[in-house]
Structure 1
Amino acid sequence: MATNEVIRIGTRGSQLALAQASEVRARLMAAHGLPGEAFDIAVISTSGDRIQDRPLSEVGGKGLFTKEIEAALLDGRIDIAVHSSKDMATVLPEGLRISAFLPREDVRDVFIGRTAKTIADLPQGATIGSASLRRQALLKRLRPDLNVITFRGNVQTRLRKLEEGQADGTLLAMAGLNRMDMQHTATEILSAKDFPPAPGQGAICIESRIGDGRVDGLVAAIADAATAVALTAERAFLAELDGSCRTPIAAYAHHREDRTLTLHGVILTPDGTGMHETWRTGIDEDAEAMGRLAGRDVLEAAGPDFFKGWAE
């Protein structure tokens, strides 16, 4: 597919975000036989990147990593936006849609230990840094004795804080380390069953304007159907719970070659003492309904007071 206009790709400026945007560009080049100069990667500073002194839950949640990029997409400064799917709100700005998911990377979290290689080997009262309420809650559930603190910043910033001795360990996504060829920094890979990931973890998504046929034709060639099905279920689970960075929620949908899907959904209290989970299996076409029903499952099990107080 030929084009006379440069395709402008909007992204955050972290090393991981740039790696993701570069992957999208490389896949588009390969799919359409286009040269590198047919694309321009535009770095857009987001509120989430600039605000580093407070937890996301206190300053607006997920949208802080996407709103400035989405504004550039809506006003035409960029043609497509590249995001980590787990940063995406379940309701997008009017006029925008997720037009493609790339093949999913490893969904698992990893532990990076400074004073011990595994979570089990950490001494009593060790300090662990993480910005994710889900990771914090799961960690507290595993080891209530640990001192869990908020660690903000990109991967490199968090690893620097670890080296400086601000914590004994931290948790990151294996997918991000893989994309930056930094797998060696992980000291323990955590099971997705016992330490379930965030909805959308490991998946890059492309956001574009509704009705932009030129872009639709480009990105359709690199869209991964299996990832789209899995993310439909996970995002429906999240939407049913009205999930944000204020609530510890985990979900992982595993797509099989026989076109069936298994979804594991989890909600927790921030201190890890309360947890409800569900599993549902169905066919691809029922992915959204499965996610919605799974959300209702855990809400019914948790009761009306589960989210009160701490989720506001």
Structure 2
Amino acid sequence: MPTANPHRQRQRRRDALVFLAFAGPNLLLIAAFVYYPLLSNAYFSTLNWRMGATSATSAGIDNYIRLFTSPQGAEMWRVTITFTVVTVVASMVLGLLVALALGHRIPGVTAGRTAIFSPYVLSGVGVGMVWNFIFDPQLGVLGHVLRAFGARSPEWYLDADLALVMVIVVYVWKHLGFCAVVFLAGLQSIPSDLIEAARIDRAGALTRFFKLTLPLLSPTVFFLTVTTILSSMQAFDILKIMTPSGNGTSTIVFELFLQGFGPYQNAGYAAAISVVLFVVLFAITAFQMRFIERRVHYA
């Protein structure tokens, strides 16, 4: 049998030690601050435990059953799905339209790009406070405008459906600029000679968009679909500032906060919600990477 090369063995040991020296601390930190809390949270989800209490009783899977069968859980899923679908579709569609408009070389286009992107980098707390003033039925700017035209301002904060519409509008306004900038980068990466060739072939504007531009934007659309879904399902700051009690706006993350740290103080149920949120986000991302990415044209 051939004998192992001593020099090669020493080289492999040296490479392994170098790897451990550089990656070891990071792996320990990830294990301590990511995987250990994740496993601990899964254990807490099987308990009846009040936040801050020194003792807890076993609940088995009762917290999960409650999450999927109770009227409160059903309402949470309805609000989460509605909020996510509307914000993702609206942000991407409006972002693409804005990107198409900002892609032309016209005076003031740089200022327009800055103005569109600026809300995305603002604090969600600050954005929510400003829009609270705008939507206020008595003192808000929107109420003054409606009264000037003889209309009455709706009770945005008292009506659950209107409250959901309100936070959707604000969330789309804040994240529209991100989608627009990413779409603009994708549009600028499309070779101009392809567009010119389509014009020479007398392809109309709609034909060029749906047959050429949109397929070449598929990597951008895929990226934004993944990121905006994950972002929308984890939205919290704007919802908390504009609707502190969660009236009609209790998405899964907001409900997690209300159960764990809000008036209910039910840490075990909140842990179950967070476990389900992790599984849902992981499943959505895996599905997109496994099936939707096949339709992406990278060339």
Using structure 1 for the length normalisation, give the TM-score. Answer: 0.23
Using structure 2 for the length normalisation, give the TM-score. Answer: 0.24
User: Counting helix residues as a fraction of each chain, which structure ranks higher?
Assistant: 2
Considering Cα pairs closer than 8 Å and 6+ residues apart, tell me whether 1 or 2 has the greater RCO. 2
User: Counting strand residues as a fraction of each chain, which structure ranks higher?
Assistant: 1
| Bigger Rg over Cα | 2
